[in-house]
Amino acid sequence: MNQGLYIGVMSGTSLDGVDLVAVSFEPLKLHATLTIPFPEQLRNDLIDLTLPADNEIERMGVADVALARLIGESINRLIAENHLDKSQIRTVGSHGQTIRHRPEAGFSLQIGDPNLIAEVTGLPVVADFRRRDMAAGGQGAPLVPAFHQAIFQDQMVHRITLNLGGMANISVLPAGQPDQVFGYDTGPANILMDAWCFQETGQTFDQDGAWAATGQMNEALLSQLLSHDYFARPFPKSTGREDFNLEWLQQQIDDVQLSDSSLDHISPQDIQATLLQFTAQTVIDAILQTDLATGELWLCGGGAYNRTLWHAIANGIPQWSLKSTLEIGLAPTWVEATAFAWLARQRMLGLSGNLPAVTGAQGLRILGTLTHR
């Protein structure tokens, strides 16, 4: 059972696209990869579903089917284009799209119907990874730390993995101490930068952080952003678009401008530079709060390609050496999808997928529900 291929399918809060991988484990090997950008209509529908509005059940049902069909067809394409032998594929791990993450209320909702994915692909599908952890009192997030631990923990060197997706999460992996691993969502990574960049320039993201690099970080706005009560909360904690979105950002900009009229002329690129520093600062603070003095910081997620962000983080923690996960043959883009392939394999092997120290769950749990082929 632990041989063979696993397909991982992930689309995170950025809603930039669906990432697919076919991987085998022990040793970890990537066999095929594919990213499918969201059709604009579906992307807008999914974003709309992340905040309360009218007629949600009907719209959710329609999006659930549309996304599942897209995922199923993308899996078929991954298999066909790479000439993968379908009989070698053990299972698909499909995260689905989070449309609401409300750990305080005990729920997190991912859509992309696994029944339809199984029907379209003829493959067994593990999905609904988060709710068992929540049933056990956890946040249901982040779930990647167990995978980060399995792949990155070292006997000699302290390591932290940092996933820069829509949100940012860290997994803290003290050298040789598997029972001391912890992690949490540090706050937004790209979500506000993407939204601001799109509103101001029409580009869906700031390639390499080039636009942010033309601006000046604004101290008053940065401290206003840092005053969000999420950052003072102790972990376990996790976050999403519910906490950090364009409306919230606009409110913060209005608030600083009200209190200081000299800030009326803060330029769009200065705001972008401030958002970038906001992500960097919350990550830096989280790393300084660990009691690890030095080590390696492994970056993954799309934000690992943002050079300006990379340098901003490096500047704040000179005692840490920054590395791209590409150094172990797993490009930053594919880490999360690989994690959900790994979580699906854990499910098939009857092994746990959560880390109670990360999610706050009462104990280890086998995650995900299986839909047969």
Residues in touch with ligand ADP (CB under 6 A): 11-14, 16, 165-166, 190, 194, 205-209, 301-303, 305-306, 336
Residue closer to Mg ion by CB (options 204, 290) is 204
For residue 96, the 8-state DSSP code is: -
Is 168 within 8 Å of 162 (Cβ atoms)? Answer: yes
- Find the residue with minimal CB distance to Mg ion: 16
Q: How far is the CB of 168 from Mg ion (least distance, A)?
A: 13
Residue environment code for 251-270, b if the CB has 16+ CB neighbours within 10 A, otherwise e? ebbeebbeeeeebeebeebb
Residue closer to ligand ADP by CB (options 13, 277) is 13
Q: Is 16 in the site for Mg ion (CB under 5 A)?
A: yes
Residue from 312, 306, 351, 302 nearest 16 by CA = 302
Q: How far is the CB of 167 from ligand ADP (least distance, A)?
A: 7
Q: How far is the CB of 208 from Mg ion (least distance, A)?
A: 17
Residue 64 interacts, among ligand ADP, Mg ion, none and using kind-specific CB cut-offs from 5 to 8 Å, with none
Is 142 within 8 Å of 238 (Cβ atoms)? Answer: yes
SS3 percent helix, strand, coil of the chain, rounded to 5, is 45, 20, 35
Residue 208 interacts, among ligand ADP, Mg ion, none and using kind-specific CB cut-offs from 5 to 8 Å, with ligand ADP
- Rounded distance between C-alpha atoms, residue 127 and residue 120, angstroms: 15
Q: How far is the CB of 19 from Mg ion (least distance, A)?
A: 6
Residue 296 interacts, among Mg ion, ligand ADP, none and using kind-specific CB cut-offs from 5 to 8 Å, with none
Q: Is 173 helix (H, G, I), strand (E, B) or coil?
A: strand
Residue 215 interacts, among Mg ion, ligand ADP, none and using kind-specific CB cut-offs from 5 to 8 Å, with none
Residue closer to Mg ion by CB (options 16, 64) is 16
At 34, which amino acid appears?
Answer: L
Residue closer to Mg ion by CB (options 15, 217) is 15
- Rounded distance between C-alpha atoms, residue 9 and residue 71, angstroms: 8
Number of chain positions touching Mg ion (CB under 5 A):
3
Give me the residue label for tokens 């299986």.
370
At 139, which amino acid appears?
Answer: Q
Q: Is 72 in the site for Mg ion (CB under 5 A)?
A: no
Q: How far is the CB of 13 from Mg ion (least distance, A)?
A: 8
Q: How far is the CB of 176 from ligand ADP (least distance, A)?
A: 29
Is 320 within 8 Å of 294 (Cβ atoms)? Answer: yes
Residues in contact with Mg ion by CB under 5 A are: 12, 14, 16
